[in-house]
Amino acid sequence: MAVDVPAKARRMPGLAIPHRMRWPLGYSAAAVLVFLAYYYMIPNLGPGGQTFFREWLPLTSVNEALVWVICALGLNIVVGYAGLLDLGFVAFWALGGYTAGWLMSGFFYQVDIHLFGGALGTAPGIHISFWLVLLIGAGFCAVWGVIIGAPTLRLKSDYLALVTLGFGEIIPQVFTNGDNVFGFNLTNGTKGITPVDPIAIGSFKLGPFDLVYKYVIFVLIVVVVVFISLRLREGRLGRAWLAIREDELAASMMGVPLMRTKLSAYAVGAVAGGLAGVAFATHVGGVLPDRFNFSISITLLAMVVLGGMGNVWGVMLGALVLAWVNSTGLPQFGTSFNEQFGTDINFPSYNYLLFGGILVLMMLFRREGILPESRTRLVLHEPSRTDMESLGADMEAPAPELDEEPLLKTTAADEPVITDETGTGTGMGMGEKV
């Protein structure tokens, strides 16, 4: 399906949309459509229609799903691009969230700093503009990404998962216990930091019911993260990541600096995690440490795996679907089902089965995800180097990764990695076994 559409497009001269533009355009159209729907259509719908949308697709759920998208895209850079399994990604979400908690609330009442913030000028505490806090949160998390990434650099993939998991447990515990750091209340403990200032655009402040504007803001953050993801992937760094993911040893032999490349994956991924944290804090209106547990990291991983590791659009789709199922879909389905059939089944409790089952079934039957990235599929189905060698395989075999489907020998146009003009000369893009 991904292959035959551009062929059709070529046949129709009026609709000459390049293959690589189809997804971005499609998503932009969908985003605008959603905005228009919530802004104009639904408020004018009859009470029945309004109830339907309020129950099945409330804008809060959409906004929450967008936060998940931001975070999942960050994890996608670490896991999907660079192949570094991170089981503690929730740590960055927490760090981003607390950045917002610290800089956008009256928590540090000892000081009085106002910088284009959304709070009244008289309120004590640090009140910095949401936009600045986004930048600060991103930078703060990038630093932490490097700190967390550094000890893992020498490790094999499964050990690495464990160390990240360790950080994913320690950092939230620090926030939970941080109400008395040598007598100083750093995080307010389990009580968390509430409320967080509203987002301010100039002098206009977003109230709790201006969800549709928040939606636009979150969509813009998603765009930034998608843009970063796509641009980096095509560039030098992205190709180095893919090279590491596919064969670390070969990549390092070809001159890819392992240390710097891996750390940058952590840092860039963490930036997205931090953005998500800040966005989430404004979405909820506070930051509470209870949230940041292992199941969040696993849910994020399930989103990346379901959508298709390495494919930005797939991950986005996976995150939207799972976030919606988690927050609204499953409970609402349960309510309707129970009302319809007079049963009393606790559907939300099937969450564990659902997310666990998704991970297992996807790995067993469709490892590449619902929207596969051709390269991932290949890597995940290819026996490891040593196995192939032991079977006497010729490692110089013609590049099979250019085939999207075994029968359709078309070059994948959304795979600009090898054919890209910038790929020459450095040896950085030579991780692929061409």
Partner 1 sequence: MSRSAKIFATVAVTGLALSACGGNASGGAPDSSSGGGTLVIGVDLPLQGASKDASESTVNAMQLYLDQIGSKAGKYKVKLKVYDDSTAAKGAWDDATCAKNAQDHVGNTEEVAVMGTYNSGCAQIIAPVLNQDPSGPMLMVSHANTNPGLTKAWEPGEPEKYFPSGSRSYARVIATDDYQGAAGAQFAAKDLGIKNCYVLNDNQTYGQGVGKAFEEEAKKQGIKVLGNQAWDAKQPNYTALFTSIKASKPECVYLAGIFDNNGGQLVKDKVKVLGDNSKVKLLAPDGFSGYPEFDGLAQAQGAYLTFAGLTATTLREEGGPGADLLDAYKKKYGEDPATSYALYGVEALQVILQAIEKSDGTRKSITEQVFSGSGISIPADKSVVGKKLDIDPKTGDVSVLDISVLQVTDKEEKFLKPWPVS
Partner 2 sequence: MAATATSVAVPAAIDRKAVIQRYATYVILLGLVVWLSANLINSPSQFFSAGMVGLNLGMLYALIALGYTLVYGIIELINFAHGDLFMLGALFSGFLLTTVMGQEHSDFLGIVLLLVTIVGTMLFCGGINVTLEFVAYRRLRRAPKLAPLITAVGMSFVLQFIGLKWNGSTPKQWPSVLPEGSFGIGEFQVDYSLLAVIGVTVPVLLLLRWVITSTRQGKAMRAVAQDQDAARLMGVNVNRTISFTFLIGGALAGTAGVMYQQVVGTTAYNLGYQLGLIAFVSAVLGGIGNISGAVLGGILIGLIQGFNDGLPYGFGQKWSQSVVFAILILLMVFKPEGLLGRPTTEKV
- Binding footprint of partner 2 on the chain (CB under 8 A): 79, 83, 85, 87, 151-159, 161-163, 165-167, 169-170, 173-174, 176-177, 248-249, 252-253, 258, 294, 298, 301-302, 305, 349-350, 352-353, 355-360, 363-364, 367, 379-387, 390
For 201, phi and psi rounded to 5 degrees? -115, 105
Residue 290 CB contacts under 8 Å (≥ 6 apart), including other chains: 176, 190, 192
Provide, rounded to whole angstroms, the least separation between the CB of residue 170 and partner 2.
5
Contact between 24 and partner 1 per CB under 8 A = yes
What residue 372 binds from partner 1, partner 2, none (CB within 5 to 8 A, per partner kind)? none
Q: Are 254 and 427 in contact (CB under 8 A)?
A: yes
What residue 162 binds from partner 2, partner 1, none (CB within 5 to 8 A, per partner kind)? partner 2
Q: Mind giving me the DSSP string for 301-368? A: HHHHHHH-TT-HHHHHHHHHHHHHIIIIIHHHHHHHHHHHHT----GGGGHHHHHHHHHHHHHHH-TT
Contact between 154 and partner 1 per CB under 8 A = no
Among residues 9, 61, 114, 380, which is the contact residue for partner 1, using CB under 8 A?
Answer: 61
Amino acid at 199: I
Tell me which DSSP letter residue 235 carries.
Answer: S
The stretch near partner 1 (CB under 8 A) out of 123-131, 158-166, 262-270, 395-403 is 123-131
Q: Mind giving me the DSSP string for 244-263? A: HHH-HHHHHHTT--HHHHHH
Contact between 295 and partner 1 per CB under 8 A = yes
Closest to partner 2 by CB, 157 vs 411, is 157
What residue 87 binds from partner 1, partner 2, none (CB within 5 to 8 A, per partner kind)? partner 2
Contact between 227 and partner 1 per CB under 8 A = yes
Contact between 331 and partner 1 per CB under 8 A = yes
Residue list 175-194, contact with partner 1 (CB under 8 A): 176-177, 188-192, 194
Q: Are 40 and 276 in contact (CB under 8 A)?
A: no
Q: Which residue has the tokens 């944290």?
A: 277
Q: Closest Cα partner for 385 from 376, 396, 375? A: 396
Provide, rounded to whole angstroms, the least separation between the CB of residue 310 and partner 2.
11
